[in-house]
Amino acid sequence: MMGPSRLKSALVAFLVAVGSLLPANADEHEHTYTDKEEVVLWMNTVGPYHNRQETYKYFSLPFCVGNKKTISHYHETLGEALQGVELEFSGLDIKFKDEVMQTTYCEIELDKNKRDAFVYAIKNHYWYQMYIDDLPIWGIVGEADENGEDHFLWTYKKLEIGFNGNRIVDVNLTSEGKVRLVPNTKIAMSYSVKWKKSDVKFEDRFDKYLDPSFFQHRIHWFSIFNSFMMVIFLVGLVSMILMRTLRKDYARYSKEEEMDDMDRDLGDEYGWKQVHGDVFRPSSHPLIFSSLIGSGCQIFSVSLIVIIVAMVEDLYTERGSMLSTAIFVYAATSPVNGYFGGSLYAKQGGRRWIKQMFIGAFMIPAMVCGTAFFINFIAIYYHASRAIPFGTMVAVCCICFFVILPLNLVGTILGRNLSGQPNFPCRVNAVPRPIPEKKWFMEPAVIVCLGGILPFGSIFIEMYFIFTSFWAYKIYYVYGFMMLVLVILCIVTVCSPSQWTSFLSAASTAVYVYMYSFYYYFFKTKMYGLFQTSFYFGYMAVFSTALGIMCEKKQEEPKLEECVVGERATVRPSACCTAECGNRPLRMAHTTT
């Protein structure tokens, strides 16, 4: 039995989940200070420089805390909790525009264990991260000498804070005071604060973290230009082939118009008209197929909306806000999933629509949560701050069941009722048309491989920039580029050969992206260790799969290949298509004598 207290705590968890999706109302949210007002230095995480996602709480290293203890733990948003943000008060006494000369704030009594912990961290190039007024600050833990025998700890944090009016606009940290780590000694940790007037505008204070010479490099512009050229070429090619085929067909059709009715009925259908009998054939696994299509539509709309939001608001300035936004948009666009998945399933004559809705709604969340769950085990084993807290897991589950599922239900019902009728303009042939003999480059395997190359080719440079911002220390901010690439990807996907292999083409795009991530891992990063490696490959798999699902498209589009081949068919279609003969009664071929 679920007691009232359990019910209440579930309710509270749900409210927290919904509340944490909204922007955090942090303590320093106003970002304005009066003179001598307290400025909080938050300690975040510490971890190896090369493994960006392998982070631990700052105080998991035996650092000591200053003696000011008025602020408890920071209230995290959902996005922050999922990204392993662990803000803890440093205990340092900092007041706005109040200079502090070098002051010792605590002492570390270095026993053997503590020394070993520091030595391990120094050997692995550990960095720590702090925040002042939401501005990130990085510092290095220590240094080894050349032969790697002696290890030194930086003990003096020299903070220089720039202010503009009543706002903080700039922070610099200099580490000084190298002290050798000798067991059974005391190490004094000290800090100083200097305040400087600065002309940096508050709106521009994150600009120094961006790297325009990397992100707006000529290569980047060139790659976008390149992809655009490819798109123009592709669209041109496709329309040329279509036009040529259609014109040839039309010429034959109009010649036949001159024959009498009798002769015409005896003839086969040929050219692009052959397509109509098969285009709208239900796929062989309607349930999975329509769920995939629904999820694909949802991922596409989520990407579109999140990129637009990111372009309008500088999301990178707030910790975890990108992830929070993405989760919120994902939940809010669930009806899209339900609508497209549900209506396609109904059109294909599926009856188990509740099952379809569940599969459609939980396909992506299950994939992401499954990966996260697996990585969470490793994170807990390593005591990494990436381990997702239990409360956050409950919150995510609540969102899945109480937000995503109902919204999906609404979408499904709408989809089934508004566009669930199989009102295709053509009737589907009883016998699937055998696809005519093909040249080698028309073999499905080849098409699948080539079909994936074009979308991949149009995005892989952008992929490099996105990966670098996620796996290295760069902030991605050129969302305009990302938008362009999404549009290009969309056009390329629509133009590339779309027939029954289209689904596998999309899958092959995912495979290419995943292969590229292997290349990136081995040649572009220096990650190591079980945790970071499984984190990397786990989430890259999720990313590639999601991208693949996004690229797949409905099979209802005209099957270009059959148009192009355009040979006389071996099986006669028994139905008519609208344009030329739609009002004529349907009749079987070869019934007249």
Task: Write down the least CB distance from residue 215 to ligand NAG, Å.
Answer: 20
Q: Tell me the C-alpha distance between 538 and 182, whole Å.
A: 40
Q: Tell me the C-alpha distance between 452 and 496, whole Å.
A: 9
Binding positions for ligand NAG, 309-348, rule CB under 6 A: none
CB nearer ligand NAG, residue 198 or residue 226: 198
| Strands 88-89 and 100-110, sheet pairing | unpaired
Q: Give the CB-side neighbour count of residue 359, counting CA atoms within 13 A.
A: 17
**Tokens linked to 291:** 């769920």
Q: Indicate which single residue of 38, 88, 98, 170 sits in contact with ligand NAG (rule: CB under 6 A).
A: 170
Q: Tell me the C-alpha distance between 188 and 411, whole Å.
A: 62
Q: Which stretch binds ligand NAG (CB under 6 A): 154-162, 289-297, 505-513, 578-586?
A: 154-162
The reply on whether position 198 binds ligand NAG by CB under 6 A is: yes
The reply on whether position 160 binds ligand NAG by CB under 6 A is: yes
Residues paired with residue 195 on neighbouring β-strands, in sequence order: 161
CB nearer ligand NAG, residue 172 or residue 570: 172
CB nearer ligand NAG, residue 169 or residue 363: 169
Q: Tell me the C-alpha distance between 272 and 501, whole Å.
A: 19
Q: Which stretch binds ligand NAG (CB under 6 A): 94-102, 156-164, 432-440, 540-548?
A: 156-164
Check: CB of residue 408 under 8 Å from CB of residue 338: yes
Task: Write down the least CB distance from residue 194 to ligand NAG, Å.
Answer: 7
The reply on whether position 174 binds ligand NAG by CB under 6 A is: no
DSSP code per residue over 511-574: HHHHHHHHHHHHHH----SHHHHHHHHHHHHHHHHHHHHHH---TTS--HHHHHH-PPPSS---
Residue nearest to ligand NAG (CB): 162
Distance, C-alpha 277 to centroid of its chain: 38
Task: Write down the least CB distance from residue 92 to ligand NAG, Å.
Answer: 17
Check: CB of residue 567 under 8 Å from CB of residue 436: yes
Q: Which stretch binds ligand NAG (CB under 6 A): 144-152, 159-167, 214-222, 316-324?
A: 159-167
Q: Rounded to whole angstroms, what are the CA distances from 266 to 5, 197, 259, 572, 591?
A: 78, 91, 11, 10, 9
The reply on whether position 172 binds ligand NAG by CB under 6 A is: yes
Helix (H) or strand (E) holding 172: strand 167-180
Task: Write down the least CB distance from residue 166 to ligand NAG, Å.
Answer: 16
Can you tell me whether residue 499 is helix, strand or coil? Answer: coil
Can you tell me whether residue 72 is helix, strand or coil? Answer: coil
Task: Write down the least CB distance from residue 171 to ligand NAG, Å.
Answer: 7
CB nearer ligand NAG, residue 35 or residue 261: 35
Check: CB of residue 357 under 8 Å from CB of residue 412: yes
CB nearer ligand NAG, residue 162 or residue 277: 162
**Tokens linked to 566:** 């355009």
Task: Write down the least CB distance from residue 85 to ligand NAG, Å.
Answer: 24
Name the residue with tokens 């270095």.
Answer: 110
Q: Tell me the C-alpha distance between 575 and 566, whole Å.
A: 18
Q: Tell me the C-alpha distance between 296 and 333, whole Å.
A: 12
Q: Indicate which single residue of 47, 79, 142, 162 sits in contact with ligand NAG (rule: CB under 6 A).
A: 162
For residue 243, with 0-12 CB atoms within 10 Å meaning exposed, 13-18 middle and 19 or more buried, which class applies? exposed
The reply on whether position 196 binds ligand NAG by CB under 6 A is: yes
The reply on whether position 168 binds ligand NAG by CB under 6 A is: no
Task: Write down the least CB distance from residue 28 to ligand NAG, Å.
Answer: 18
Task: Write down the least CB distance from residue 158 to ligand NAG, Å.
Answer: 10
Please report, as a single letter, which amino acid is at residue 83. Answer: Q
Task: Write down the least CB distance from residue 211 to ligand NAG, Å.
Answer: 15
CB nearer ligand NAG, residue 143 or residue 170: 170
Q: Which stretch binds ligand NAG (CB under 6 A): 138-146, 155-163, 250-258, 278-286?
A: 155-163
**Tokens linked to 33:** 């200070």
Task: Write down the least CB distance from residue 330 to ligand NAG, Å.
Answer: 39
Residue 70's closest CA among 19, 14, 102, 27? Answer: 27
Q: Which stretch binds ligand NAG (CB under 6 A): 53-61, 157-165, 174-182, 218-226?
A: 157-165
Task: Write down the least CB distance from residue 90 to ligand NAG, Å.
Answer: 19
The reply on whether position 211 binds ligand NAG by CB under 6 A is: no
Check: CB of residue 328 under 8 Å from CB of residue 395: no
**Tokens linked to 515:** 């292969």
CB nearer ligand NAG, residue 13 or residue 161: 161
Q: Which stretch binds ligand NAG (CB under 6 A): 95-103, 158-166, 214-222, 285-293?
A: 158-166
The site for ligand NAG, by CB under 6 A, has a size of: 7
Q: Interface with ligand NAG by CB under 6 A: which residues? A: 160-162, 170, 172, 196, 198
